[in-house]
Structure 1
Amino acid sequence: MKRVVVGLSGGVDSSVAAYLLKEQGYEVIGLFMKNWHDDSVTISDECPWLEDSNDALLVAEKLGIPFQTVDLSEQYKERIVDYMFNEYEKGRTPNPDVLCNREIKFDVFMKIALSLGADYVATGHYCRKGTIEKDGEEVYQLLAGADGNKDQSYFLCQLSQEQLSKALFPIGELTKPQVREIAAKMELVTADKKDSQGLCFIGKVRLPDFLQQQLQPKEGIIYEIAADAAIYNTDTPQFTSVKEQLAYEAKKTVYTPEMGKPVGKHQGAHYFTTGQRKGLNVGGTKEALFIIATDVVSNAIYTGQGNAHPGLFRKALFIQKNEVHWIREDLALKDGETMEVMVRIRYRQDLQKATLHKFDNGMYISFDEPQSAITEGQFAAWYIADELIGSGVIS
């Protein structure tokens, strides 16, 4: 009997994952990760960790598996929270869920599991793992979940071959309704529990409250840039190389206050992100205002009316060399090589047709169609068919 440690989060997905593994004859141990203590910034009645750990315990009792809680809040603060503050301060928008999987669940937590003699670590992610043989070596694949509506492969886009080799995703072949059905049939306490929203393991957090612990509010101006502003009507230069053209297409537009008109005030550019529409509190415009750029140095926010505003769109993005990550190392591009792939730049986005271009300083992704709200600090993940083969931080 192989031993599997399941990260029981107190939600229905990990509960059913544990049940399925037990059915398959594994020796299953349930572990609940406690990653957060500060209740002052969580929205009190939304998934506080206490209720979750109780639910996880009840599920473990029902399934007759050993259960314990591990406190990872110190590592979580160091690897996730501090990193988040740091990124927001630089005016980038990090993705804590992707990091949490790479740094906590499949690193700190996995090491604890292996120290308990586990052969595998399992989670309730909607994704699948494949294995192929290549040149006599076993190669692990990260595949999209069977439920297209719930596929969570994107959140695991930073995993390595070694991490994947020890990972199991028992519900990857199921749809969410099927998972709920199994939980109801087994009378698990989590069967009808709402999906948790918000930060990985912190619960629902008011982001500005959370960020204000470290980043002080400071008042700045919100500017509106017209859709027909001169900056959008410049002629495209002549390029001497593909790289030069890609650099031009990936470049952020730099805005200055003179280009627009002041329409409101905000409490700190570092609390906002490209593409954001909510939280601006500016009325009186014909269409909703979307953020097209933030400048944390001058503390200005630039907006445009409507989701078709030209300031939202770009045709390419760049990932710095040290931020390019291949799950399938055997498919990694060499300098000068290109590859046609499907890409998403945020969770739930439909896959977009694109081409990877590898250069000595990093990688450009050029899209067939211009993309809205390409956001620094977020992850771009690239797929071939339903296999996620690599990812990187948008720079």
Structure 2
Amino acid sequence: MKRVVVGLSGGVDSSVAAYLLKEQGYEVIGLFMKNWHDDSVTISKECPWLDDSNDAMLVAEKLGIPFQTVDLSEEYKKRIVDYMFNEYERGRTPNPDVLCNREIKFDVFMKIALSLGADFVATGHYCRKGTTTTENGEMVYQLLAGKDKNKDQSYFLCQLSQEQLSQTLFPIGELQKSEVRKIAAEQDLITAEKKDSQGLCFIGKVRLPEFLQQKLQPKEGNIVEIDASEEKYQAETPEFSDKKEELEFLSRKYSYSPAEGKVVGKHQGAHYFTKGQRKGLAVGGTPEPLFVIETSVEDNVIYTGQGKDHPGMYRRGLFVTPEETHWVREDLKLEQGEEMRVKARIRYRQPLQDATLHQTAEGLYVVFDEPQASITEGQFVAWHLEEELIGSGVIS
């Protein structure tokens, strides 16, 4: 009888994951991760960790499995929260959920589980694990999209390694969300009707600007609007002397200076804003709503444009540095000068887009067939071959 430690989060997905494993004959242990308990920054009514741990305990009781809570808040602060502050300070927008999976659930948590004699760790993610053989006949693990296309969470696991995958189970990956809720109701689990949690991985619902303000001091600056008819958007595509020049051109960001636009408002700190953001600008009176098209942390300026079709929002390519490029399938890793046709996404829930990977000496370029809106530094790009996620990287 193999032993599995389930990360019970107090939600319906992990509850059903634990139930299914028990039905399959595994010896199941429920573990709740307490990752944060600074109540000053959570909206305590929304999703306090106490309610979640209580629900997780009641589920474990109902299923007749051992249960305990592990306090990972020190590691979480060091590896996730401090990293987030650091990234925002640099004017990048991190993805804490991807990081939490890489650094906490499938590293710190996994080590605790294995120290309890577990053969596997299981989570309530909507994704699947497969196996295949490489050209030299070696077996490798695959990270596959969840069957519920609307809930597929493989993106959040895009930084997992072969070793982590080998010791992981995803019991609900074959199910639709509606089926998961149905099973929870049939088994009379307290989480059956519970709403899915929003907000940072295991912190609950956090007001991000307030969260950031604890470390990043407010600093008043200008909101500048750039007109869509600006000359730089009309520029002809030049002739390229080589591939590298073309890749750099397709991946370049527009650069702006305050003189190019007009000041339309004030903000409390450029590092609180991210590309594509519409809420929180508090500027009215424009025919179309303003969207953030670029931020400059150095000059503390936010550049905006009217409407979601503003040309400043779009570009076709992005770049990932070698140290921030990760292959789930190391056997498919590109060598310098190689290309690969893939499907890729730059955010969770974005439909997969046709793209080409180009591996250069400097790093990896991802060039999309169609221009993409709000390519944001610090977020993750993930690339797929059909329904398998094979690699990812931090947008540079």
Bigger CA drift: 37-46 or 348-357? 37-46
Aligned pairs for 1:297-312 within 5 A: 297-312=298-313
Kindly indicate whether residue 96 of structure 2 is the aligned counterpart of residue 96 of structure 1.
yes
* Cα distance per residue 1:56-83 (max 9 Å; x no partner): 0000000000000000000000000000
Look up the equivalent residue of 1:80 and give its one-letter code: I
Kindly indicate whether residue 237 of structure 2 is the aligned counterpart of residue 236 of structure 1.
yes
Could you tell me the percent identity over the aligned residues?
A: 75
* Cα distance per residue 1:177-200 (max 9 Å; x no partner): 000000000000000000000000
CA distance in 2 between partners of 1:366 and 1:133 (Å): 29
Deviation of 1:123 (Å): 0.2
Kindly indicate whether residue 265 of structure 2 is the aligned counterpart of residue 264 of structure 1.
yes
Deviation of 1:237 (Å): 2.4
**TM-score normalised by length of structure 1:** 0.99
Aligned to 1:140: 141
Aligned to 1:203: 204
Aligned pairs for 1:335-354 within 5 A: 335-354=336-355
3-state SS of the aligned residue for 1:39? coil
Deviation of 1:300 (Å): 0.1
Aligned to 1:319: 320
3-state SS of the aligned residue for 1:21? helix
Deviation of 1:133 (Å): 2.5
**TM-score normalised by length of structure 2:** 0.99
CA distance in 2 between partners of 1:40 and 1:47 (Å): 13
Look up the equivalent residue of 1:10 and give its one-letter code: G
Q: CA RMSD in A?
A: 0.6
Aligned to 2:183: 182
Deviation of 1:242 (Å): 1.2
Moved over 3 A (4+): none
Aligned to 1:17: 17
CA distance in 1 between partners of 2:287 and 2:42 (Å): 35
* Cα distance per residue 1:257-279 (max 9 Å; x no partner): 01100000000000000010111
3-state SS of the aligned residue for 2:259? helix
Aligned residues: 395
Look up the equivalent residue of 1:3 and give its one-letter code: R
Bigger CA drift: 250-259 or 134-143? 134-143
Q: Which sections of structure 2, spanning at least 5 residues, go unmatched?
A: none
Deviation of 1:176 (Å): 0.5
Deviation of 1:137 (Å): 2.1
CA distance in 1 between partners of 2:253 and 2:43 (Å): 35
3-state SS of the aligned residue for 1:41? coil
3-state SS of the aligned residue for 2:40? helix
Aligned pairs for 1:95-114 within 5 A: 95-114=95-114
Aligned to 1:168: 169
Bigger CA drift: 225-234 or 12-21? 225-234
CA distance in 1 between partners of 2:389 and 2:244 (Å): 25
3-state SS of the aligned residue for 1:36? coil
CA distance in 2 between partners of 1:348 and 1:40 (Å): 30
3-state SS of the aligned residue for 1:325? strand
* Cα distance per residue 1:338-383 (max 9 Å; x no partner): 0000000000000000000001111001110000000000000000
CA distance in 2 between partners of 1:358 and 1:222 (Å): 37
CA distance in 2 between partners of 1:332 and 1:236 (Å): 31
Aligned to 1:276: 277
CA distance in 2 between partners of 1:385 and 1:232 (Å): 34
* Cα distance per residue 1:225-258 (max 9 Å; x no partner): 0000122122332211111111011111110001
CA distance in 1 between partners of 2:224 and 2:232 (Å): 15
CA distance in 2 between partners of 1:151 and 1:100 (Å): 17
Look up the equivalent residue of 1:265 and give its one-letter code: K
Aligned to 2:57: 57
3-state SS of the aligned residue for 1:140? strand
Aligned to 2:221: 220
Aligned to 1:78: 78
Aligned pairs for 1:358-369 within 5 A: 358-369=359-370
CA distance in 1 between partners of 2:160 and 2:200 (Å): 19
